């Protein structure tokens, strides 16, 4: 059962701002999604091997060899704010 408290918790984890008035709506929508996925529970999967990936592929490696990356200018081109070759972000205090 998804209640308003759960919605607020998930929103906090996702750093989303949700208006108090919308909490009930999101609770109903999330509930519906969970309910939909729960339908899978009716299947008998005792004979199915648990798996974490859909592809039947294993051991894809790269060799320990250097490849050129981006220049500082290219890397910082995506930033909204920068200073001294670094990304500038709102202060996080430790």
Partner 1 sequence: MTTFETVIGLEVHLQLKTKTKIFCGCRNEFGHEPNTNVCPVCLGLPGTLPVLNRQVLLDGVKVGLALNCTINNFVKFDRKNYFYPDLPKGYQISQFDLPIARQGYLDIVVDGTSKRIGITRAHLEEDAGKLVHDAVNNGSLVDYNRTGTPLVEIVSEPDLRSAQEAYEYLTALKLTLSYLGVSDCDMEKGSLRCDANVSIRPVGQEKLGTKTELKNLNSFSALKRAVEFEVTRQTGVILSGGQVVQETLLWNDDQGAAVAMRSKEQAHDYRYFPEPDLVPFTLEANQVQLLREGLPELPYVKLARFMARYGLNHYDAFILVQDQGLASFFEVCVKAHADAKKVANWLIGPLMKEMNERKKSFIGMSLTPQAMVAIIQKVETGVISNVIGKEVLALVLDTGKAVDAIIEEKGLAQVSDDEALGKVVDDIIAANPAAVAEIKGGKTGAIGFLVGQALKKMQGKANPKKINEILSRRLQDV
Q: Distance between CA 1 and CA 83 in Å, rounded?
A: 47
Closest CA to 30 of 4, 68, 69, 57: 4
Selected from 12, 32, 33, 34, the binder of partner 1 by CB under 8 A is: 12
Token pair 């704010």 in the structure block, residue: 81
The answer to the question of residue 52 lying near partner 1 (CB under 8 A) is yes
Report how many residues bind partner 1 under the rule CB under 8 A: 38
Main-chain phi, psi angles of 44, to 5 degrees? -90, 110
The answer to the question of residue 46 lying near partner 1 (CB under 8 A) is no
Which residues of the chain form contacts with partner 1 (CB under 8 A)?
Answer: 12-13, 15, 52-53, 55, 57-72, 75-76, 78, 81, 83-94
């Amino acid at each position: 059962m998804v209640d308003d408290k759960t919605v607020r918790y998930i929103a906090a984890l996702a750093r989303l701002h949700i208006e108090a008035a919308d909490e009930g709506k999101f609770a109903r929508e999330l509930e519906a999604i969970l309910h939909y996925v729960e339908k899978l529970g009716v299947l008998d999967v005792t004979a199915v091997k648990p798996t974490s990936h859909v592809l039947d592929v294993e051991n894809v490696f790269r060799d320990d060899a250097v490849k050129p990356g981006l220049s500082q200018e290219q890397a910082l081109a995506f930033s909204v704010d920068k200073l001294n070759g670094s990304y500038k972000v709102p202060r996080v205090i430790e």
